[in-house]
Amino acid sequence: MSRRRATWLAIGGVLVVVLVAALAVFEPWLLVVDRTADDGDDPAAVVGTASGGLADTTVPAAPGEGLTRVVLASARFIDGEHGTTGRATVYRRSDGSRFLRIEDLATSNGPDLHVWLTDKPSGGSCEGCRDSWGIYDDDAYVRLGELKGNRGSQNYEIPASADLSAMRSVVIWCDRFNVAFGTAPLA
**What is the spatial distance between Cα 1 and Cα 3, in angstroms, rounded to a whole number?**
7
Range list of β-strands (E), the chain:
36-38, 45-49, 68-76, 78-79, 85-93, 98-106, 113-118, 141-146, 151-158, 169-174, 179-185
**What stretches of 45-168 adopt beta strand conformation (E)?**
45-49, 68-76, 78-79, 85-93, 98-106, 113-118, 141-146, 151-158
On the question of pLDDT at 53 being above 90, the answer is no
Q: How far apart are the C-alpha atoms of 131 and 80, rounded to whole Å?
A: 11
pLDDT tens figures, 112-143: 899 999 998 887 655 545 556 678 877 889 99
pLDDT of residue 168: 93
Mean pLDDT over the full length of the chain: 83
- pLDDT value at residue 182: 93
Beta bridge partners of 151: 36, 106
Is it the case that residue 72 has pLDDT exceeding 70? yes
What is the reported pLDDT for 29?
A: 58
pLDDT digits (tens, 9 = 90+) for 7-47: 887 787 777 776 666 666 666 656 667 888 888 887 677 77
Grouping H, G, I as helix, E, B as strand and the rest as coil, residue 133 is: helix
